[in-house]
Amino acid sequence: MRGIKFLILVVIILSLFQFNLYSLITSRVEGTVIDKDTGQPIKGAYVYLFELDIFDNNSAEYESFDMLETDKKGYFKFNNVKKGTYFLSIFKQGYAAFGPLYAHGYDALELIGEPTWQQKNGSEIERFYLKEGQIKHFKINLEKEAVLKIKVLRKLPNGIEPYSEKYDVRLSLKHRGFINEIKAETGSEFQTIFFKKGLVDIKIKLEGYKTKTYKDVLLESGKTKAIEYVADFTTGQVLHGIVRYADTKEPIYLASIGFVKIDEPGKNFHASLYANKNGEFWIGGFEPGNFYLRISATGVNTRKKFRFVTYIKIKPNEKKEIYKEF
């Protein structure tokens, strides 16, 4: 009888000890990040842990739980993580982004492609549920990023020069069969970061010129795809203008130019741009036809506003010159 009582007491003590030990174990998410090619640990990778709320229609909202960097062994650890649903995103310069997010920079994240929590067979870590007191460990391979470089030039009668104005790049990423568009406003040269390998459609839009499209460009891991686009303002239909002040003959920098094709409803070419430091502007790549041209500027000293409006017709292969003084 005494032995039975002693056994029961031992069981109770062990149960209490196990309960107390369990209560000391906090839920955490940890793992190692390694180079997929070399198998070496990656130091200084930015690891984001996102908490995820999923609704009945399979839509989701997420917010960052925490962010840290991997140590010299590629190790990371998030302590004191409450129970819930999470996913990971990882970024390291020179490597493709891991997870369903893309970054314009480390502080500008957005969804890329169809998120893993909407897929049945994703190749990356999908959402995971963390229980109270549970430890989740991951081993994550990062592959080298696929780099896209775009250089824009323009061909003028006096030669080729870098296109120094702002232009728009639109990238349609065919990621896992899902097309996601990324827009960027840039200068003469543009380069991606954290891109994954795969197919991408590229659209380059210069103000004053028709959109240039590249279809199904293959981006490969660890390689750079370079595209040099030359906007030719010497062939086809071209409008060239110079804007000056009438009294000083000085060029009007940043004079506003509006150019709209007024025939063929639904297919109207339009451009909205500014004169450069020489008071010049170029418009090209459009079909011949009838156009509305507006030039507006503001005086330097008087702040008086100037406005010029005209309708012009441009024939095939015609180079139209506009000189305007205010």
- Among 81-90, 120-129, 135-144, the range with the most confident prediction by mean pLDDT is 135-144
Mean pLDDT on 80-86: 91
My answer on whether 128 and 27 are in the same domain is yes
pLDDT at 124: 47
The domain total for the chain is: 3
My answer on whether 300 and 243 are in the same domain is yes
My answer on whether 168 and 213 are in the same domain is yes
Point out the domain boundary residue: 211, 232, 253. Answer: 232
My answer on whether 137 and 7 are in the same domain is yes
pLDDT: which is higher, 189 or 183: 189
In degrees rounded to 5, what are phi and psi of residue 288? -65, 155
CB 192 within 8 A of CB 95: no
CATH number of 208's domain: 2.60.40.1120
- pLDDT > 60? residue 50: yes
- pLDDT > 50? residue 73: yes
My answer on whether 48 and 94 are in the same domain is yes
CB 255 within 8 A of CB 242: no
My answer on whether 26 and 158 are in the same domain is no
My answer on whether 23 and 132 are in the same domain is yes
CATH number of 26's domain: 2.60.40.10
My answer on whether 130 and 53 are in the same domain is yes
Domain that holds residue 288: 238-325
CB 87 within 8 A of CB 99: yes
For the ranges 94-108, 161-175, 290-304, the lowest mean pLDDT is seen at 94-108
My answer on whether 274 and 161 are in the same domain is no
Point out the domain boundary residue: 83, 112, 142. Answer: 142
Point out the domain boundary residue: 127, 142, 157. Answer: 142
- 320 vs 57: CA distance, rounded Å: 56
- 199 vs 201: CA distance, rounded Å: 7
pLDDT at 104: 52
pTM for the model: 0.76
For the ranges 43-47, 84-88, 101-105, 133-137, the lowest mean pLDDT is seen at 101-105
My answer on whether 26 and 116 are in the same domain is yes
Give the confidence band of 298 by pLDDT, cuts at 50, 70, 90.
confident
Percent of the chain topping pLDDT 90: 46
pLDDT: which is higher, 226 or 125: 226
Give the confidence band of 74 by pLDDT, cuts at 50, 70, 90.
very high
